[in-house]
Structure 1
Amino acid sequence: MIWDALILGAGAAGMMAAIEAGRRGRRVLVIDHAKAPGEKIRISGGGRCNFTNLGISPERFLSQNPRFAVSALKRFTQWDFIARMDAAGIAWHEKTLGQLFCDGSATQVVQMLVRDMERAGVTLWLDCALGDVRRVGDRFEVDTAQGAQRARSVVVATGGKSIPKMGATGYGYRVAEAFGLPLVETRPALVPLTFADHELAWMRPLAGVALPARVACGRTGFDEAVLFTHRGLSGPAVLQVSSYWREGEAIHVDLLPDREVAAELRAARGKVALRTVLGRWLPERLARHLEEAAGVTGTMAELSGAVLDRVAAGIRNWRLVPVGSEGYRTAEVTLGGVDTAALDGRTMAAKAVPGLYFVGEVVDVTGWLGGYNFQWAWSSGWAAGQDL
């Protein structure tokens, strides 16, 4: 049998492409080496799936070509996916910063997608290893654990390298290279940052401390939570900035972005310690560390204005230099991937290889934390599905 389309990967983007192609009457086979479809969907958002964001816009996606994602994101929007959730009767709610989550389990989203594939006549093979992809005449042939499969089109939706314990591999990149498509260097993104031993010596006692802050790298900054860990820094603000950070660069943390710290410290005179004043605004353990790091002793009344200004400057612009990240093991997504210069932004097709498509995380399009990467999966999968 020759299929109209082989979809390699039963994740968010692959299932979306399959649904759209199936609805258009195509004979579609989806193959995944995992034992269940949509595993990243299932574990995302603490098991409730942060399935999109109300604030989807192209500037919140990283790529060597920041305009590449525009077409797909505009043609299948967050509102379109929300409509599908509503039609399926899946209740959802908005959390902070436009993030949308299921009220119940993320498995509802997986079930909706699988049901839509079934209704569209899509065939799904799970626990089936994938091998080489090659051209045979005007068709493609894909080696699988169930034998070679032929199709008019192939959609690579195998994701990136993030969270290898879920089965992530570099398979999609190898397929791209086999057909001569260029790759943008890949690296872990939306990932906790790690620090050298001399930094960890004071960070470890703060493990578990969390607070709202602003974390910046270069001109890009995020106002969200920061979490101290035994390995360094995590929390949404740090995960966000990790996509922009490079080895050797510093990050800058503003622990009190909404306060006039210098003025308030000068006003807080009296026979109290600096840590006591800082403890009104910051977690106690962090307040104590900042006092020790500043080398301050005595009461507020004994501290000069210059000392207080120095303390305030350190709080508002705390410079830290990470040595690395926790890597793909905990990264939520992979930065880089198949170079968008080789793809058609409207269809996700490889320009030089008719019938070959790349969608989702395998492409050099990486969204912010908060539902952006799922929306890219829905939008890019939808776009490919219209062309199969």
Structure 2
Amino acid sequence: MDHQRLADLLNRYADHSITIEETGELLSWLEANPNHPMAEEVGEEFLLANQHVSTNLEPYQSIANSILATDRPVIRKIYPIKRILSYAAAIALLIGALLYNLLKEDHPPVTIAQTITPAINGAILTRSNGQQVNLDTLQTTSLGKEDGTAVKLDKGLLAYEGAGNSGNMVYNTIQTPNGRTFHVILQDGTSVWLNAGSSITYPVAFNGTSREVSITGEVYFDVAHAATQPFKVNIGDKAWVQVLGTAFNINAYKDEPYIATTLVQGAVKTGNQQNEAILHPGQQAIANADGSLLLKDVETSAITAWRNGLFHFENASIPAVMRQLARWYDVEVRYEGTPPTRTFSGEIGRDLSLQQVLDILKTMRIHYTINQREIIITE
């Protein structure tokens, strides 16, 4: 089999158009060419990827074992197969086709949770005239101007450019529904990242003596420095954060028991109707419903793990874990009886399917059923 044929077969796995005969062709090539560098990679990945597969793969395991047992030089030659498929990705597709096409009688049915995918980049933009623009599918385009400020979308990043035409405050709002996340650059150069189930309302141009925005949910700010224009974040009438130029995270979901402001770098002043405090890097302010304001030292990388594609849990209750999953995967969570009292610590990739995450939680003896997009937790 030449390199082009091999690449064609792997690509046919990618779009699920491979036939049973073509799957057999690739397996035959794998068995007949144990000294080929590509065969060695496939054999290694096959064994690693199937350590926990319960389906009977003995015939294919023996092929992989024979490849790895063959003497060969240490130096490997890399062949220019299409770069869009890494060896690991290629064998993952191979395994999927094997289980589906060749062993379909033993293949378990696809669960609802396996079809529920992680959040995507997207949001709803509400303009000053009330028009709503769905940013989920748009890639690169000009959205015209708002009071003289250009609004541009470039590969999923929304940015505002220009000083505006008047001293009037003209506002836009970006909302990320559950199952969405988004990044926007405000007119002053401040970068804002919105977690799922969040929103920010902001002027299209900061023409006053201060820069004020309002948020809900969880938002990370990297504020552009402007000494003559303090930057202030309002969280309803519950709390506020004021800075000159810094990076910080605010968690202000309505279904969380408190509002948490975490300072990554710089300095901020934060407070509510009763108290205020100045934070230093590595500190977090907890604004409670009773008006108290508590300060504590934290590991900022844990707080901002969501920006790096991770769920981070530290002695988190099951309801706290499930609230994050509900927002990220856009599902509902219901408890039959009292929620489990166990806690969970660790990190989970936010790129996993819901089923993969639930499989991890099974190790904590968390019992659940799924009805469409509702997870029902039972003790």
Query: Which of the five TM-score ranges fits, normalised by the shorter chain?
Result: under 0.3
Higher helix share: 1
TM-score, length-scaled by structure 1? 0.18
Q: Which has the higher strand share?
A: 2
The structure whose Rg is larger is: 2
